[in-house]
Amino acid sequence: MSVLSAQNLRKSYGTQTVVDGVTLSIEKGQCFGLLGPNGAGKTTTLRLLLGLIAPDSGQIQMFGQAIPQQSRAARQRVGVVPQLDNLDPDFSVLENFMVYGRYFGLSAADITARVPALLDFAGLANRADAKIQDLSGGMKRRLTFARALVNDPDLIFLDEPTTGLDPQARHLMWQGLRRLLNQGKTIILTTHFMEEAERLCDRLVILDHGRLIAEGAPRELIAQHIEPCVTELYGDDIAHWRDNFAAQLCARHENVGETLFCYSRDGAALMQNLHTQTHLRYLHRPASLEDVFLKLTGRELRD
């Protein structure tokens, strides 16, 4: 059953088309990734899906309700973790839950009953009375995440949830996400970390210039777009090596700055050759979602 679906969404600002014919469908219990370089239209797509802004054309259905017309009812079952923490700095941890819960029309008793589980989820079990300014960046991020669960949502939106977190905090965040998925929640996630998307997402789309340019499970996308093995070569002599061996040993290769990327089916012959080239440094690894992402969206900077 589709929890959230959108058909042919379009949104322009002036002459610039930010979202250009996006169609997607998210099934119950899925972790769905929305990837794309900066300015690809991810945030605008999220805002459209939440019913915060109206599309120029296209339809959105969330829990069977038309968005944005019935977004008030639909958002009753949604939790949102924004890109930047917007906790209430004047309140304690506990007060943040209480105040936020009331926006969903929850009674004080309902919220109070949920608080221990939320504190536990945020790893702030004994910090209920702490002030927000006394929390570390990671704690605030976890609290923002827990706050989004105050209404026990069925669908959770996370906009770059792990940006700026250290590896410990990021792994904790991933565990939290998996716990929610195990409970049958549906998650829609934007991220710039391909490793994160590869680990967590059941399905994902890559958005560029407002259009969907790829869609599928992470493994499928890798298999579809990239040879299974990637070898990165570094050093002064790579040009020489490339001219002599690349065409023969790699299915495909590309030069990026000082690095030569070689894509191959199994890489056995390539590795054998490299063992003899002691002056070259290299990294041999399986193809990843990041390779797909860079292949599809290009390597030039987006600002």
Partner 1 sequence: MARNYFTPPVLSLRFIPVWRRNYLVWKKLAIPAILGNLADPMLYMLGLGYGLGSLMPSVAGVPYITFLAAGTVCYSTMNSATFEVLYSGFSRMHVQKTWEAILNTPLTLDDVVLGELIWAATKSLLSGIAILVIIWALQLQASFWLSLWIIPVVVLIGFCFSGMGLVMNAVSPSYDFFLYYFTLVITPMVLLCGVFFPVSQMHPVLQNIAQFLPLTHAINLVRPLMLGNIPTQVWLHVLVLVAYGAVGFYLALGLTRKRLLS
Under the rule (CB under 8 A), what is the footprint of partner 1?
A: 13, 50, 52-54, 56-57, 72-73, 75-76, 78, 80, 82, 84, 86-91, 95, 99-100, 102-105, 148, 151, 157
The residue among 95 and 232 lying less far from partner 1, judged by its C-beta, is 95
Q: Which of 278, 279, 232 is nearest to 258 (CA)?
A: 232
Q: What is the DSSP letter of 74?
A: H
Nearest residue (CB) to partner 1, 42 versus 203: 42
Closer residue to partner 1, CB minimum distance, 66 or 99 = 99
What is the rounded CA–CA span in Å between residue 280 and residue 118?
52
What SS3 state is found at 58?
strand
Listed residue (162, 206, 158) closest to 186, CA to CA: 158
9 phi, psi to nearest 5 deg: -70, 135
> Encoding tokens for residue 128?
């209920």
Find out whether 22 and 8 touch, Cβ atoms under 8 Å: yes
Cβ-based burial of 276 (10 A; exposed 0-12, middle 13-18, buried ≥19): exposed
For partner 1, give the closer residue by CB, 87 or 294. 87
Q: Shortest Cβ distance from residue 210 to partner 1 (Å)?
A: 16
Least distance between partner 1 and beta carbon 125 (Å): 23
C-beta of 106 vs 249, nearer to partner 1: 106
Q: How far is the CB of 52 from partner 1 (least distance, A)?
A: 6
Beta carbon of residue 104, minimum distance to partner 1 (angstroms, whole number): 6
What is the nearest approach in angstroms of partner 1 to the Cβ of residue 43?
12
